[in-house]
Amino acid sequence: MGAQISTELLGWASSFTLLLTITAQIGRQWKERSAQGVSRWLFFGQLAASLGFTIYSVLVHNWVFVVTNGLMALSAIVGAVLTARFKAPGKS
């Protein structure tokens, strides 16, 4: 049981680290009101992969990955919207 708990803690800590780094990138885009150097396709690829991994994770009952990939899918949508907004001609 101890190994299972430490395995879960490792999974949740890794999830938190990944989400923190992606959130920081999106926050930077928002703060700078810029998508310079960010590919429009980055977030679409992230969304497709995250949705696929979320479905897979539900099927194998891995809740660390269900939560992580669900939140990554959400971050991909936010990132794609910001990228489109800040790369649009005449952006605000």
Domain count, the chain: 1
Domain assignment of residue 72, yes or no: yes
Structural domain of 27 = 2-87
pLDDT at res. 53: 93
Termini Cα distance of the chain:
54
Residue 92 lies in a domain: no
| Section 65-74 average pLDDT | 95
Our measurement of the distance from residue 63's CA atom to the centroid of its chain's CA atoms, rounded to an integer in Å, reads: 16
- Residue 22 contacts residue 75 (beta carbons within 8 Å): yes
Res 92 pLDDT > 70: no
Q: What is the pLDDT of residues 6-64, one digit of tens each?
A: 888 998 999 999 999 999 989 999 999 998 888 878 899 999 999 999 999 999 999 99
Return the closest-CA partner of residue 77 out of 26, 32, 28, 36.
26
